[in-house]
Every structure is written in C-alpha cells, then in structure tokens.
Amino acid sequence: MIKKIKNRLIKRFFVKKARIENMYGRGKYKIYDKEFYYHHENAFKCSFKEIIENEIYRFKPDSETPTIIDCGVNMGLSLLFFTKNYPKSKIIAFEPDPTVLPTLDRNISVFMEGKDITLLKKAVWVEETELDFFSDGGLGGRLQEEYKNKTPEKIKTVRLKSFLRSKVDFLKLDIEGAEYDVLMDCKNELKNVDNVFVEYHSANNSTQKLDDILKLLKDSGFRYHLKESFSRDRPFIDKKIVCQRFDMAINIFAYKKQ
C-alpha cells in the first residue's frame, strides 16, 4: 500500500512538473486557418482569452480608418485583433523586448501583410534615450526594474508624447510599470485621445499611484472602468503574489464622455 501511494505521488509530481515546463514552452496555434506562433505558452493562453475571446480592446471608432497606438504588443495578439476588427486602421506599434521580436515579426508577416502597421522596436518613455531593459521571457519585460538573476539589455526609447499631437482613436499602454511616468508626461496631449487602455502595475516597494492616474484621466475628460488584471484571493494575507515585483495589477478602460 505504501509503495502504491509513493508511486502515485511520484507520478503526480512528474506530471505536474511536465505541465509547468510545457507552460513556458514555444509553440504555435491555429487562428483564422493560419499558424500563430508564441514564445511562452501560458502568456499566450492568458492573452488569447482576454484579447481574442473576450475582446477587451473592442471600441467604437468614429471612422473606418481609426488611428491606434499600441504600446507593448508582445507576440502580436493585440495587433491581430485590431487588424481583424478594424481592417483600415493605421497602427503605430511599440515592442522593445528582444526575446519576443522574432516571434512578433513572424506573426506580422503571416497575419498582417498589407496592413498599415508601423512597428518601432523601442520602448515608450518620457524622452529619447537608452535604458536597461529586463525581460521575463513572457509578457512582462520592463525598464529599469531588475528581475532576480536577469541580465539587462540596452534598448532605445522614444517619447510617447510626440505621437499624440494629432487625433488618436485608441491608445493602449501595457508597459509593465512605466505607465505612470509616461502618462504624466503625456498630460497635455491626452485631449487628442478618445479611448485609453492602461494596465496599471503597483510595485511592491513603491508608493501606489493608481489614484494619480485616475485623477489625470478624469481631469483630461475621461470616464473609466476598472477591472482586476491579476487576482489575490486573500489580499490581507497574500500581499506580494501578483509577480516578483508587483502587488497589484489593474486594467483601466478610459473613454471620453459622450
């Protein structure tokens, strides 16, 4: 009996271990009769559910040719959604993570040939410069803030503010902790933007700034809706489990008053 229990536990351990290892593997998935490549299976599954199935980026543009600025496109699921649902859109996309770019380039060439997409392989920031960039190999590369045991890459940045000086129908910011600085720098240009998506990240050891971001959006003429991006079942106990650096992640959907 003891031997059977032991064998069962060993088998369960190795099955669980195999699932975890596979979760971080590369692969491909058929979408619209074409193969979409991913570099991180768990990141792909989470993003696919949010972006393709739940359509969290769907909005109503006032023309057939909306301008979309997508900051943090990762493997390209957001670009796939935008080009499929707004085929005449003009898209300016940013992605600096060198571990993601080969996969992103492949997906753009397969799914988005002939679309009006400008891909800038840089990070959005408050100035044009070079900064240390730390990649987690999945969804969460970021500027300046170090991952444990990760070596940074030097990447170039652009000032997002300079891209907001004319009408923007949809602005997406999924930039892993840099959103506060970037939005504050763009304060005077938000009048040109109709819809904003921001994934807000609360760093474990820093002052929380969600209230400042919401005030900025409100003062710029937006209403907003908040939705938990990552959950903590017991927030009073589980205080630092969202990920290595963040204790809270909130999706902000902001839109101009009708």
- Which has the minimum average pLDDT: 12-21, 58-67, 114-123, 213-222? 12-21
More confidently predicted of 147 and 91:
91
∠ CA 168-171-172, nearest 5°, is 165
Has residue 31 been placed in a domain?
no
Has residue 92 been placed in a domain?
yes
pLDDT at 137: 54
Has residue 29 been placed in a domain?
no
- DSSP character for 141? -
pTM: 0.85
> Is pLDDT above 90 for 239?
no
pLDDT in tens, 178-210: 999 999 999 999 999 999 999 999 988 889 999
pLDDT at 240: 64
Mean pLDDT, residues 56-79: 98
Element (H, E) at 183: helix 179-185
- Which has the minimum average pLDDT: 5-9, 49-53, 226-230, 252-256? 5-9
Has residue 8 been placed in a domain?
no
pLDDT at 149: 54
SS3 223: strand
Has residue 180 been placed in a domain?
yes
Has residue 197 been placed in a domain?
yes
Has residue 14 been placed in a domain?
no
The number of domains in the chain is 1
Q: How many CB atoms lie under 10 A from the CB of residue 153? A: 15
Has residue 48 been placed in a domain?
no
The domain of 72 spans 53-256
∠ CA 184-185-191, nearest 5°, is 80
Give the CATH number of the domain where residue 223 resides: 3.40.50.150
Q: Average per-residue pLDDT in the chain?
A: 86
> Is pLDDT above 80 for 6?
no
Mean pLDDT, residues 31-59: 95
pLDDT at 101: 95
